[in-house]
Amino acid sequence: EPLNLVAGKKIRILGTPVPSPKDSKLVIFAWHIDFPEEKESFSVDALMQLKAKLDSFGSLEAKVDWILENFERYSGVVKRRNVALATLLTYFSPLYVEAFGKRERGWMLTAVVGDTTTGKSETVRLVRELLDAGLFVSGEAATQAGLVGTATQVEGKGWFIDWGYLPLMDSRLLSVDGVHKLPKTVWASTAEALREGMIDIAKAARARANCRTRTIFIANPLSESYTTKDMNSFIYPVLALATIFDVINISRLDLAVFTIADEVKPHEIRGAGEPDPDFYLFREVIRWAWSNPEVEITQEALDEIVRASLRLYEKYFNNIVPLVTIDMRYKIARLAIALATLTMSTDMNKVIVTEEHVRFVEQFLDREYSRVGLDQLAKGENRELTADEFNALIGDIAEKIGLDVNKLLDILRWMAVKGNFTRDEILQRFGIAEKNQLRPLLSELTGSGLIERKRGFVASGKLIKALKKVEQREEVVKCEVLVDADITVHLEKGSYGPFKKGEIIEVPESDFVKLEELELVRRYDKSEDEGSEGYPPDYVWFNEDRPP
């Protein structure tokens, strides 16, 4: 009976290598073949022992703290609990999530980004060592063919598919170190496969393989010249993620954690201690987790997932680093199931996810993302700039890169009209220096949310709205208040009040007309009542054009 061989499955072959009678190349004359993963099991006694240990701590926070404290003892890596927890959650994520009436991807995609020699790779590698599961590879060796696979011709035997790491680690975990060294063309070929869990190769040989691979990407941030860059050189450290992944791949990440060099002081580094002997039982837990146990998400947990996703979306959504997206509830569900599995929330028949797990996940995401400025980035991007703020920002950028303000405005107007544009188009049209002007300009504009990376670059809505305000800016009218009135009048360009008779205020022309119709103000005649510097003593300044 023919065997159904699938990429990613382990096969045990008992036989004798012999030369082929056709070409004398070695082949295996096999008398027994089996699939060891189908026979591998976990120790229920070990699971019960670890569950009893974890349950003795009571709260979920105490359970996680015990796990991370023992990992620090095991690894000797301190103050990298965010990386350790992110790695563990990725390992213990489910294969599928069934919630809200849909069956969605369960395997997590996680990014670990930070300065060199900050323990991020070491932490991930030591989790793999602890659990004795998954595969750790270097990005330097992971080409497109190495990650996905390629068609290979064997002389006299035709073509076959040499599958890459992603399909070979189907339903398990792959950690890729040095992802920043991979060309972006690799991401184009892997992004859809990672999301869909399926790889198709249609070349000289055609085949399809599962790719439901839990994946951890480890990377250093990059400068515009593609050299490594310090995390502290970004106005918000979370922007480092955008130097490695495009917005589509960022939005598909379930979790990103960050390491910064100055977070750990030399005196805080200590040698490895001895972890609790029960800590090593997680090797049995990962086998249980990867056997795909049934998952039950309580109704209270489902309700909390919806509320948490809305809170996080409102606080963190932006188009520059879209880690928090409209499908956030499924990301939270993956993390909550992983956390419940890691902490042995089970009746030994199924994993039970409660609202406590959801709240812990929300707090973890909130703490990690606010630490690297994602909330500030979102707040700045989603808030429209006033004309004065825009002019100040452009003046500051022009000064930094040594460019005339008017020329910079011309570049920005061209960007807004052009839509999508590339570096080469900017160089060709405006003739600015590539290294000292174009690279820092694109970095500043991206960081301030005025342009976005999308197969090249594109002007953001924030830039277009700001340019419109500058182009359509009205004349400001100085006017005198005619009445005492404890009221506030809301008009198109602003709100005014309370009013004090005799005060001098400034308002846009269109709002002045309406205030004048209401007989609240009149146009100020300077000659009637000049005070010091040509202005009345009670002049009230409403903008930033106060004379020196």
pLDDT of residue 532: 42
- What residues contact 509, with CB distance under 8 A and at least 6 apart? 474, 475, 476, 477
Q: Can you give the pLDDT of all 548 residues of the chain as single tens digits?
A: 556 565 556 677 888 888 877 777 788 878 777 766 554 578 999 999 999 999 999 999 999 999 999 999 999 888 899 999 999 999 999 999 999 999 999 999 999 999 998 899 999 999 999 999 999 998 666 676 778 777 777 766 677 777 888 898 999 999 999 888 887 667 666 777 788 888 887 666 677 889 999 999 999 998 877 788 899 989 899 999 999 988 888 999 999 999 999 877 655 555 557 899 999 999 999 999 999 999 999 999 999 999 999 999 989 998 889 999 989 999 999 999 999 999 999 999 999 999 999 999 999 999 999 999 999 888 876 667 777 788 888 888 998 888 998 899 999 989 988 888 998 999 999 988 888 889 889 988 887 888 888 778 998 888 888 888 777 666 778 899 998 888 888 877 778 888 899 999 888 877 888 888 888 899 887 665 544 444 454 544 444 444 44
Phi first, then psi, for residue 230 (nearest 5°) are -70, 145
Angle subtended by helix axes 81-91 and 328-342, to nearest 10: 90
Q: Is 326 helix (H, G, I), strand (E, B) or coil?
A: coil
Domains of the chain: 1-40 (no CATH), 44-263+280-377 (3.40.50.300), 384-471 (1.10.10), 476-534 (3.40.5)
pTM score: 0.71
Angle subtended by helix axes 355-371 and 299-316, to nearest 10: 10
- In what helix (H) or strand (E) does residue 283 lie, and over which residues does it extend? helix 282-289
Closest to 445 in 3D by CA, of 384, 386, 387, 381: 381
d(CA 136, CA 138): 7
pLDDT of residue 447: 78
pLDDT of residue 543: 45
Buried b (16+ CB within 10 A) or exposed e, 368-389: bbebbbbbebbebbeeebebee
Q: Is 451 helix (H, G, I), strand (E, B) or coil?
A: strand
Q: How many H-runs (helices) and E-runs (strands) does the chain carry?
A: 20, 23
pLDDT of residue 546: 46
* Beta carbons of 296 and 351 less than 8 angstroms apart: yes
Buried b (16+ CB within 10 A) or exposed e, 166-175: bbbbbbbbbb
Closest to 201 in 3D by CA, of 252, 169, 166, 250: 166
Give, in order, the Cα–Cα distances in Å from 139 to each of 143, 191, 215, 433, 443: 8, 16, 13, 32, 25
Give, in order, the Cα–Cα distances in Å from 421 to each of 184, 411, 458, 543: 18, 11, 6, 36
**Eight-class DSSP state of 6:** -
d(CA 403, CA 437): 8
Task: Tell me what percent of the chain is helix, strand and coil, each rounded to the nearest 5.
Answer: 45, 20, 35
pLDDT of residue 408: 92
Q: Which amino acid is at 341?
A: T
pLDDT of residue 544: 45
Give, in order, the Cα–Cα distances in Å from 491 to each of 383, 398, 488, 495: 20, 34, 10, 6
Give, in order, the Cα–Cα distances in Å from 228 to each of 33, 82, 372: 48, 22, 18
Helix residue ranges, H only, 317-354: 328-342
Q: Is the peptide bond before 498 cis (omega within 30 degrees of 0)?
A: yes
d(CA 239, CA 231): 9
Q: How many alpha carbons lie under 13 Å from residue 353 in its C-beta half-sphere?
A: 29
d(CA 198, CA 281): 32
d(CA 450, CA 545): 25
Closest to 176 in 3D by CA, of 146, 206, 211: 146
